[in-house]
């Protein structure tokens, strides 16, 4: 058990699973991109072939689904380390980066749908930067989303094995930004909903539990070093 996972020293893995169940890696690798590309495909089908799979406002529905999947995948990635620590399933570790990258894929499409389909941004003399400016003042939560996307970009770029090696300890420090990104994403979500805050509040609670676990694990590690 790696020290960083804050783990169960001495105990064997839960259910005796020293290796991932068959097909697990395949599901984790294929399901998220299928979902993200699936949403985009259905959205395009609604727009170009009038299929109405996403209801009366496919752009809004697609934008929302992609935003939600960004959060789900980001949270799934953040859950890997605590889950690994609790269960001793070290084979989960390799999926943390993949899930983070898929969250980035989802947010890029979320952004593209917002910019070109929701806002209908076109750089020209008449429409373009002004539309963008109006939307940013009208919906300030978009600034938080943009900050989240900007912060996710260097994390995605530096997620190759070569970069991990090259950056060493700095890589870990840089990738701690993922917590700030998650906070920005949840606040952005909370500010964007008009009435029912249940889902963003639940997301904030999950995030608080994940943070709590991290802090407790860091304290435990420090205490072990001192002892
Ligand atoms: C440039 C970056 C971003 C832009 C422009 C953007 C824009 C938007 C817009 C326009 C909405 C729909 C609000 C509405 O009309 O009801 C939305 C919702 C949402 N966004 Fe973003 N967003 C960005 C980044 C992010 C990031 C980084 C995350 C997560 C980490 C995220 C997660 C969400 C979620 C969860 C929702 C709510 C979905 C729902 O209500 O079902 N967004 N975003």
CB distance 102 to 155 below 8 Å: no
Task: Write the DSSP symbol of residue 119.
Answer: S
Name the one residue in this structure whose structure tokens are 């499409």.
109
69 Cβ closer than 6 Å to some ligand 1 atom: no
Which long-range CB contacts under 8 A does 204-213 form with residues at least 24 apart?
Answer: 206/75, 207/75, 207/78, 207/182, 207/183, 210/75, 210/78, 210/79, 210/82, 210/182, 211/179, 213/6, 213/82, 213/85
Helix pair angle (177-192, 198-226), 10° resolution:
160
110 Cβ closer than 6 Å to some ligand 1 atom: yes
Task: Identify the CA nearest to 143 among candidates 201, 189, 188, 190.
Answer: 188
Q: 39 CA distance to ligand 1 centroid (A)?
A: 15
145 Cβ closer than 6 Å to some ligand 1 atom: yes
Tell me how many degrees the CA angle 151-157-162 measures, rounded to the nearest 5.
Answer: 140
pLDDT tens, 111-128?
999 999 998 877 665 666
111 Cβ closer than 6 Å to some ligand 1 atom: yes
- What local confidence, expressed as pLDDT, does residue 1 receive? 40
Taking only the tens of pLDDT, the chain with its 227 residues reads 444 555 555 678 999 899 999 999 999 999 999 999 999 999 999 999 999 999 999 999 999 999 999 999 999 999 999 999 999 999 999 999 999 999 999 999 999 999 999 988 776 656 668 888 888 889 999 999 999 999 999 999 999 999 999 999 999 999 999 999 999 999 999 999 988 999 999 999 999 999 999 999 999 989 988 87
78 Cβ closer than 6 Å to some ligand 1 atom: no
74 Cβ closer than 6 Å to some ligand 1 atom: yes
Instruction: For residue 61, give every residue at least 6 positions away whose Cβ sits within 8 Å of its Cβ, in sequence order, or none.
Output: 43, 54, 55
CB distance 153 to 107 below 8 Å: no
pTM score: 0.92
Q: Residue 196 corresponds to which tokens in the numbers above?
A: 């029912």
- What local confidence, expressed as pLDDT, does residue 2 receive? 44
Q: Which of 43, 67, 71, 183 to mutate to test the pocket of ligand 1 (most atoms within 8 A of CB)?
A: 67
pLDDT tens, 91-114?
999 999 999 999 999 999 999 999
pLDDT tens, 7-16?
555 678 999 8
In the chain, alpha helices (H)? 24-49, 58-87, 94-112, 129-138, 141-157, 161-167, 169-175, 177-192, 198-226
Task: Identify the CA nearest to 185 among candidates 137, 148, 153.
Answer: 148
**Which atom of ligand 1 lies nearest, measured to the CA of 115?**
5
CB distance 135 to 119 below 8 Å: yes
Tell me how many degrees the CA angle 70-152-111 measures, rounded to the nearest 5.
Answer: 55
């Amino acid at each position: 058990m790696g020290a960083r996972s804050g783990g169960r020293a001495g105990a064997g893995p839960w259910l005796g699973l020293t290796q991932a169940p068959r097909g697990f890696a395949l599901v984790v690798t294929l399901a998220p991109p299928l979902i993200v590309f699936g949403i985009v495909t259905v959205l395009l089908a609604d727009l170009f072939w009038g299929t109405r799979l996403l209801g009366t406002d496919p752009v809004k529905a697609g934008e929302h689904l992609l935003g939600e999947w960004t959060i789900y995948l980001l949270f799934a990635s953040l859950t890997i380390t605590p889950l690994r620590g609790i269960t001793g399933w070290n084979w989960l570790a390799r999926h943390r980066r993949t899930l983070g990258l898929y969250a980035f894929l989802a947010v890029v499409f979320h952004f593209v749908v917002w910019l070109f389909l929701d806002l209908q941004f076109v750089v020209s003399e008449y429409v373009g930067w002004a539309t963008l400016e109006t939307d940013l003042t009208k919906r300030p939560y978009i600034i938080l989303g943009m900050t989240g996307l900007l912060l996710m970009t260097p994390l995605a770029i530096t997620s190759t094995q070569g970069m991990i090696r090259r950056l060493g300890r700095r890589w870990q420090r840089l990738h701690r930004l993922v917590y700030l990104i998650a906070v920005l994403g949840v606040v952005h979500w909370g500010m964007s909903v008009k009435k029912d805050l249940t889902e963003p509040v639940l997301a904030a609670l999950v995030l608080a539990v994940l943070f709590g676990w991290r802090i407790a694990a860091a304290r435990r590690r420090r205490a072990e070093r001192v002892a």
